Structure 1
Amino acid sequence: MPDETVEQLPEEPIQDQDEQDEEVAPVKYDISTYGADYTVDGLVKRLQKGDIFIPDFQRDYVWNQSEASRLIESLLLGLPIPGVFLAKESETNKLLIIDGQQRLKSLQFFYEGFFNPKDHQKTKRIFKLTKVQKHFEGLTYEKLEENDRIKLDDSIVHATIVKQEAPDNENTSIYHVFERLNNGGKKLTPQEIRTAIYYGELNDLIEELNNYKDWRDMFGPENARLKDKELILRFFAAFYRADKYSKPMVEFLNKFNKRFRNPDQPFIDSSRQFFKDSITFLKNSVGKSAFRPEGVLNVSVFEAVTVGVAKIIEEKGTTPNLENFKSAHQQLLNDPAFIKSVNSGTSDDAVFKERHLLVDKYFSQL
């Protein structure tokens, strides 16, 4: 059966004035660094238990079977391999892999017997050593000679472990280390960092909603730098905490994501419904123009309009009349004060408040 080729749709342009207006505040870190030697057997067990894990911002496993086999062969021959970088989470004491994912996952695959298994695959490829010395060729972990298996189990992998001591209210330093080790200077986006730092129930909900069909229809193709997920987070933050807003926007979102990292089930359920109902209503009423006054998705318009609709649903228990909403929405987008509030200084406290007051003004009678 021939492979199916999925067409990769181009990402749509996004207008986000916040990114141009905001400056990143300088941060100084106090980081402790120490070395630790792990046996291969111990590393694999920690990976399997989740005590050592791969953060979401890491790239996928990309080694082929011969590359992974060469790593195993090096250890069987008693040759040293490069060390790994790990970061200790202060809250859980778990270790995040900053550098060394390919090596560690290769070891785990060999011990478990299957090479890079995928959840959707019906069959799994048995991990047999390939393109190695003849006496190792074709062997699995289980078929190694006992002395070779013990040698592999007891082989040492050196780890450099970093732990952020200050500031103690977040762990962003480890992602700056990751950038310098892995990204060739390519800066991670705030949402990529949030996804890794604040993994939990809220980010799981955002991941779920990002696949909601009506949202995909309204936003467009998935954004490689997670801008679509950031907009969902921004909707929740502005809906629940608009009265607590203070610039910069990036910190407002960080604080919300941290505070509501693992909310209770009623919060999850109601948040899911508010988002879905708001997006579906906007799709059915004004379509993609809901937050594209000039043809390009405007982040501030998205934030204000979606929150305005969600507040109506919360207060009245139903969505507005379609025709009445279309009229109010058009009047809002034509208001010079609103136009200014979504195009200039959008993250300023007064400007943020102004656009939400204008939404309330036009939507209050719906």
Structure 2
Amino acid sequence: MISMLLPGEKLNFSALENLDKRLSSTDEESNEKYEKGDVRIVTEQARYPLVSVVSMVTSSDYELNPEFQRRHRWDKTKQSRLIESFIMNVPIPPIFLYEVKYAKYEVMDGLQRLTAIHDFYSDNLVLEGLVEWPELNGKKYSQLPTQIKSGVDRRYLSSIILLQETAKTYDEAQRLKQLVFERINSGGVTLEPQEARNAIYNGNLNQLCIKLARNEYLCRTWDIPLPTPEEINTGEVSDELLKNEFFRKMSDVELVLRFFAFRQRPENPKGTLKEFLDTYLKYGNNFSIELLSQMEIIFNDTISLVYEILGKKAFRLWRQRKKQSNQSWDWYNRPGMTAYDPIMYVFSQNLGRREEIISKKEQINSNITKFYEDNYISFGGHSTTNISSINDRNKVFAQFLDNILE
């Protein structure tokens, strides 16, 4: 089925055509590539006195990503343990900066360390959970013994700076930033693809995806805590939300991005799914504000219609599951992309039939289990994200809905 896209929504994915060209080459070509300095990172190192970090965090010369900070906020104990490490002179990993302009930097990795040091020197951190220096628990920087304050003030934070000359063009800079960012460990945990996109391809579309990820119906169907009044008013998220791995990894934001991108995935089959989402977000950030406003309406209308028809379990599959010695059919205990992608896609293509769909709510629900049984290979087997599988799921679910609406 062909997507019904808004004027200006269709993107040109010709950039994907060259992806496969990087996958193979002769030894001679590889040697030439190395000698030319292709895909070679240019770096320098720097050391910052801890007391200077306060001015770094507040300076316009350093760009911090507030959304990444919001989702990966260290608690007071973890912040305190970092300060205790400085007191003990334990080696701390360097932070990574990217020089976007001369003497202008993005913080690629190390945001939480910078924030903890800033809060400490701003007297906003009351130390807690210290193990080697428990007598300092309950104290702020200004309340520390003189010798300990002087000792911490002598410490440095190291950095590795990726210089602007690393890349010759803007597109190459974006690609190399992504390559480095994805290979940096943050707190010992490799960053998820959407976390990397959020840092590298931040823009109007990315911000819209972040906003829509807190949609009430999306949260209900994916078991994500709903926005609290405090979050709505101040942006401060609850501890319950921070404990939700789906939120912390920005998987909720990727759900929204997938919805928009999959509206034109069938017509743009080249490249892996990850590459497709990267490229879509990169170019989609250039969409006009007017177009983004229309896309926002489509997402909200689609997820609300899906929820009205299928409820909280909208994206859970009816699957054949092995129970002890026999096979039986049952609802899967959590939502999945295999159901989310085609259901959202097909419902978005039928928003003009909203009232008709609502009138058939009971029939849709009473027949959907048989639909999954009849299409078990497409939905319940070893489903993949290759384009033929995506098109097949879209096609059979569209036919299911059409048959009921006839």
Structure 2 length-normalised TM: 0.62
Equivalent AA in structure 2 for residue 334 of structure 1: F
Equivalent AA in structure 2 for residue 250 of structure 1: K
- What residue is the counterpart of 2:378 in the other structure? 341
Equivalent AA in structure 1 for residue 205 of structure 2: L
**Deviation digits for residues 319-343 of structure 1 (CA, Å, limit 9, x no counterpart):** 5432436545746962777443334
How well do the aligned residues superpose, as a CA RMSD in angstroms? 4.1
- What residue is the counterpart of 1:132 in the other structure? 145
- What residue is the counterpart of 1:160 in the other structure? 160
Shift of 1:278: 1.2
1:188 maps to 2:191: yes
Equivalent AA in structure 1 for residue 257 of structure 2: L
Equivalent AA in structure 2 for residue 36 of structure 1: A
Distance 1:320 1:46, change over 3 A: farther
Please tell me whether the aligned partners of residues 33 and 161 of structure 1 are also in contact (alpha carbons under 8 angstroms).
yes
1:271 maps to 2:295: yes
* Separation of aligned partners in 2, 1:46 and 1:132: 26
- What residue is the counterpart of 1:8 in the other structure? none
- What residue is the counterpart of 1:86 in the other structure? 96
- What residue is the counterpart of 2:74 in the other structure? 61
The sequence identity of aligned pairs, in percent, is 18
Shift of 1:48: 0.8
SS of the residue 2:190 aligns to: coil
Distance 1:350 1:111, change over 3 A: same
SS of the residue 2:125 aligns to: coil
- What residue is the counterpart of 1:175 in the other structure? 181
SS of the residue 2:42 aligns to: strand
1:208 maps to 2:219: no
Shift of 1:302: 1.0
Please tell me whether the aligned partners of residues 87 and 162 of structure 1 are also in contact (alpha carbons under 8 angstroms).
yes
Distance 1:292 1:101, change over 3 A: closer
SS of the residue 1:263 aligns to: coil
* Separation of aligned partners in 1, 2:217 and 2:349: 19
**Deviation digits for residues 189-222 of structure 1 (CA, Å, limit 9, x no counterpart):** 2222222222232232222222222222222135
**Deviation digits for residues 28-87 of structure 1 (CA, Å, limit 9, x no counterpart):** 95211212355667643332134324445564234558667778989xxxx998573222
- What residue is the counterpart of 1:47 in the other structure? 57
Please tell me whether the aligned partners of residues 266 and 387 of structure 2 are also in contact (alpha carbons under 8 angstroms).
no
Please tell me whether the aligned partners of residues 87 and 161 of structure 1 are also in contact (alpha carbons under 8 angstroms).
yes
Q: 2:106 aligns with which of 87, 95, 112?
A: 95
Shift of 1:178: 2.4
Alignment of 1:225-236 (within 5 A): 225-236=249-260
- What residue is the counterpart of 1:11 in the other structure? none
Please tell me whether the aligned partners of residues 37 and 157 of structure 1 are also in contact (alpha carbons under 8 angstroms).
yes
Please tell me whether the aligned partners of residues 247 and 349 of structure 1 are also in contact (alpha carbons under 8 angstroms).
no
* Separation of aligned partners in 1, 2:267 and 2:260: 13
Distance 1:198 1:337, change over 3 A: farther
Distance 1:299 1:112, change over 3 A: same
Distance 1:254 1:42, change over 3 A: same
Equivalent AA in structure 2 for residue 191 of structure 1: Q
- What residue is the counterpart of 1:309 in the other structure? 347
Equivalent AA in structure 2 for residue 263 of structure 1: F
Which structure has the highest helix share of the two?
Answer: 2
Q: 1:321 aligns with which of 347, 351, 357?
A: 357
1:245 maps to 2:282: no
* Separation of aligned partners in 1, 2:94 and 2:258: 35
Shift of 1:160: 2.1
* Separation of aligned partners in 1, 2:111 and 2:249: 22
Most deviating of 223-232 and 58-67? 58-67
Please tell me whether the aligned partners of residues 123 and 142 of structure 2 are also in contact (alpha carbons under 8 angstroms).
no
Distance 1:128 1:89, change over 3 A: closer
Structure 1 length-normalised TM: 0.68
Please tell me whether the aligned partners of residues 99 and 182 of structure 1 are also in contact (alpha carbons under 8 angstroms).
no
Higher-RCO chain (CA-CA 8 Å, sequence separation at least 6):
1
Please tell me whether the aligned partners of residues 309 and 361 of structure 2 are also in contact (alpha carbons under 8 angstroms).
yes
Please tell me whether the aligned partners of residues 83 and 100 of structure 1 are also in contact (alpha carbons under 8 angstroms).
no
Shift of 1:303: 0.6
Please tell me whether the aligned partners of residues 97 and 161 of structure 2 are also in contact (alpha carbons under 8 angstroms).
yes
* Separation of aligned partners in 2, 1:252 and 1:62: 35
* Separation of aligned partners in 2, 1:107 and 1:84: 14
Alignment of 1:100-119 (within 5 A): 101-102=112-113, 104-109=114-119, 112-115=122-125
How many residue pairs get matched?
310
SS of the residue 2:350 aligns to: helix
1:197 maps to 2:200: yes
